């Protein structure tokens, strides 16, 4: 319970980091968060962990990474844009994930994203997908979005990716790769896109990963993509 008491306020402080410097919105945004109790998850123990206990330990380890990341990032320079939020919690203790409903693209396609402070990269599963896990929402189709724009390899935005996580695709696009401590990973291309939070004004020019190969902890659990926090 003490972990949640510390994690929740810190997580709310860093929702603002979703909006990269240079992105603009004319009015404060409002988000609705949904708490999902991990004890109600159908754990992918048979494919990812040897037992449910090991799976729960994996989730707890990710929580620990979140707290460490937030402590490192707790700086006035990260809080550049105010974002209002409403958090809905199903229990008062335990370990779990927080989710935010975000519209991706133009017109917006609704996606549930995990608030994952262990990553700097916001990403969604994209079509066409060579390797994707099951999720509740349809895969994001960049071809159907008028605001989707591939980030060129070697551009300033591409160079801001963590060391060793970027590269060049044959097409000249900025390629990203993110690996998590539990063995999960995502690979794809970086793009600039418009995100819509609730009924607020769309936020343009947000760098997101378009994941074409995604594997690991999320498999067989009908879970959305991570929403990273970028400083």
CATH of the domain at 56: 2.40.70.10
The residue segments making up the domain with residue 50 are: 2-227
Residue 113 phi, psi (nearest 5): -120, 145
HSE (CB half, 13 Å, CA atoms) of 225? 28
Phi, psi torsion values for 88, nearest 5 degrees: -115, 120
The reported pLDDT for the residue numbered 23 is 46
The angle subtended at Cα 64 by Cα 58 and Cα 66, nearest 5°, is 110
Q: What is the pLDDT along the chain (231 residues), one digit of tens a residue?
A: 333 333 333 333 334 334 344 444 444 545 555 544 444 444 343 445 566 666 666 666 666 555 555 555 555 554 444 443 333 332 333 335 566 778 899 999 988 776 666 667 888 999 999 898 888 789 999 999 999 999 999 898 888 887 656 678 878 899 998 887 777 888 999 999 999 887 778 899 999 999 999 886 555 445 555 554 433
Kindly compute the dihedral angle of the four CA atoms of residues 81, 59, 33, 66, in this order, to the nearest 10 degrees: -10
- Tally: H helices and E strands in the chain: 3, 11
| C-alpha 21: how far from chain center | 18
State the DSSP code for 86.
E
Relative to beta strand 123-125, strand 203-215 is parallel
Structure pTM?
0.59
Half-sphere exposure of 41 (CA within 13 A, CB side): 23
ω before 59 within 30° of 0 (cis)?
A: no
What's the domain count of the chain? 1
pLDDT at res. 90: 29
Exposed (0-12), middle (13-18) or buried (19+): which is 199, by Cβ within 10 Å?
A: exposed
Please tell me the predicted confidence (pLDDT) of residue 175.
Answer: 92
How much of the chain is helix, strand and coil, in % rounded to 5?
Answer: 25, 35, 45
| Dist CA 95 CA 74 (whole Å) | 22
Cβ neighbours of residue 176 closer than 8 Å, sequence gap 6 or more: 121, 123, 161, 165, 166, 167, 186, 187, 188, 189, 190, 209
Look at residue 96 in the predicted model and tell me its pLDDT.
Answer: 53
């Amino acid at each position: 319970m003490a972990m949640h008491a510390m994690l929740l306020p810190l997580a709310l402080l860093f929702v603002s980091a979703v909006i990269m410097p240079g992105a603009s919105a004319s009015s404060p945004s409002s988000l609705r968060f949904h708490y999902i109790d991990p004890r109600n998850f159908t754990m992918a123990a048979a494919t990812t962990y040897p037992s449910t206990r090991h799976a729960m330990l994996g989730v707890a380890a990710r929580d620990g990474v979140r707290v460490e990341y937030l402590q490192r990032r707790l700086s006035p320079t990260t809080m550049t844009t105010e974002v209002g939020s409403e958090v809905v919690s199903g229990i008062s203790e335990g370990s779990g994930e927080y989710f935010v409903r975000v519209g991706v693209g133009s017109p917006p396609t609704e996606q549930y994203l995990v608030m994952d402070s262990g990553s700097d990269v916001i990403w969604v599963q994209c079509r066409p997908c060579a390797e994707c896990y099951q999720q509740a929402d349809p895969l994001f189709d960049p071809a159907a979005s008028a605001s989707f724009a591939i980030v060129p390899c070697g551009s300033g935005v591409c160079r801001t990716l963590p060391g060793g996580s970027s590269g060049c695709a044959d097409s000249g696009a900025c390629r990203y790769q993110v690996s998590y401590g539990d063995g999960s990973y995502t690979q794809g291309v970086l793009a600039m896109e418009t995100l819509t939070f609730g009924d607020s004004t769309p936020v343009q020019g947000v760098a997101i990963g378009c994941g074409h190969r995604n594997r690991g902890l999320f498999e067989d659990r009908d879970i959305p993509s991570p929403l990273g926090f970028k400083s």
